[in-house]
Amino acid sequence: MAEDLRSAGHKVDLLVFHEGNRIDMEDIAIHRIPSLPGIAGIGPGFSLKKLFCDFFMLFKAVHLCRKYDYDVIHAVEESVYIAAFLKLIFKKPYIYDVDSWMSEQLIEKFPLLRSLSRPFVFCETRAVCFCDAAVVVCQALEEKVLAIDAECRVLRLEDVSLLEEVTGQYESLKKIVQNNDGIILYVGNLEKYQGIDLLLESYRQYTSCGGQASLVVIGGDEKGREKYLKRAEGLAIGSRVFFIGTRPLEHLGMYLQQADVLVSPRTEGDNTPMKIYSYMASGMPIVATRIKSHTQILSDETAFLTDVDAKAMSARFHEAFADGKRAELVGKAARKKAEEKYSRAAYRKKIRDFYSELSHVWNLRN
């Protein structure tokens, strides 16, 4: 997004946490909060670490707004509350970039907070009402925003495939699993809502009914991998499940192309996982749960959809391997849809047109 906005002629500054690789983007300034002792390995979702960093991000944001005359603040996720504060102080409009419905995710991750659901919902509702426009990643989130404020200017900006062409030597998954009978591949974090428990139980049932393919999991921190490896061993499938950790994002396409079946066992949430767009672009058959998170993008023509049930998912694994012709057609249909609707070119046009419209509405500098 930053690159596309810059190429459209906008000046872009990014305010980010202290972690992450040092990267250079032409004419885009990256401002980091100070490195904080003992604060490292910040994962996805709510955490005290992230809350602590947000406190420092607020002060950094105020400093930047005093130093530079920004036209608009583009606030992602919980930084919307920082943007709301900046709007009060500096009278600058802000765009709420809604990647998930935070109040729901917070309660799903920490059920003990359910009694506080009303304050969480109130805060999120106020963030929507106070924003000047919103960018959402899927239809479900667009519906939630418009239900709160029907007059809100909303851009539905779905994610795009992150596949890049890889040349030269690459890591062979077949060498890792030592098996030529197929690979089921999951890519993503190991948070509870991703359905890794469902995946492991489904795979156990798949192997108990004669399934020969190995299961490879890419992603997750060390703590999560250890947890689920123990779970796999407890299900007596530890020798056939491989948690290989994180891999460079630019190599994603190479890993997807080595799989026979890609899986997204997500059990909760409405926002579409970013990996789905890369899954689709790869042309490999996808097995995914039949929940709104998936069905607003996938259908029975573009994936092997399954109920959130281990037996049902196991059957889908068998079907994907047994019916090669159907698997090929499903993969091709998914790739075609990704190329037509979720390409980088389509993304670029949407974000440029949206900002151009807002520039005229708010009478901003071009």
- Of the pLDDT bands very low, low, confident and very high (cuts 50, 70, 90), residue 338 is very high
DSSP string, 134-189: EEESSHHHHHHHHHH-TT--EEE-----------S----HHHHHT-SS-EEEEES-
Q: Look at strands 214-218 and 261-264 and give their pairing.
A: unpaired
Residue 41, pLDDT above cutoff 70: yes
CB-based contact 279:262 (threshold 8 Å): yes
- Residue 249's Cα: distance from chain center in Å? 13
Taking the alpha carbons of 269, 271, 276, 280 in that order, is the dihedral positive or negative?
Answer: positive
Segment 120-153, tens digit of pLDDT: 888 889 999 999 999 999 898 999 999 999 999 9
pTM of the complete model = 0.78
Residue 366, pLDDT above cutoff 80: no
The residue assigned the tokens 């005359």 is: 69
**One-letter identity of residue 296:** Q
pLDDT at 166: 66
Highest mean pLDDT among 34-38, 90-94, 197-201: 197-201
Which domains, and CATH codes, for the chain?
2-160+343-362 (3.40.50.2000), 173-341 (3.40.50.2000)
CA 95 – CA 1 distance, rounded (Å): 13
CA 273 – CA 95 distance, rounded (Å): 22
Segment 348-364, tens digit of pLDDT: 999 999 999 998 887 66
The structure tokens listed for 36 are 């904080």
How many other β-carbons are positioned within 10 Å of the β-carbon of residue 41?
Answer: 10
pLDDT at 210: 95
Work out the widest C-alpha separation in the chain, in whole angstroms: 65
How many other β-carbons are positioned within 10 Å of the β-carbon of residue 5?
Answer: 18
CA 164 – CA 354 distance, rounded (Å): 27
Segment 284-310, tens digit of pLDDT: 999 999 999 999 999 999 999 999 999
Specify the DSSP class assigned to residue 193: G
328: Cβ contacts below 8 Å, ≥ 6 apart: 285
If one compares 23 and 240, the residue with the highest pLDDT of the two is: 240
Per DSSP, which regions of the chain are E strands?
Answer: 12-16, 28-32, 73-76, 94-98, 133-136, 154-156, 183-187, 214-218, 241-245, 261-264, 286-289, 304-306
Burial of 323 (0-12, 13-18, 19+ CB in 10 A): middle
Mean pLDDT of 323-334: 96
Mean pLDDT for all residues in the chain: 91
CA 40 – CA 224 distance, rounded (Å): 16
The structure tokens listed for 238 are 């530890």
Segment 161-190, tens digit of pLDDT: 888 776 667 899 999 999 889 999 999 999
How many other β-carbons are positioned within 10 Å of the β-carbon of residue 79?
Answer: 21
> Which candidate, 137, 147, 228, 142, places its Cα nearest to that of 188?
228
CA 249 – CA 12 distance, rounded (Å): 24
pLDDT at 36: 83
166-184 burial, b for 16+ CB within 10 Å, e for fewer?
Answer: eeeeeeebeeebeeeebbb
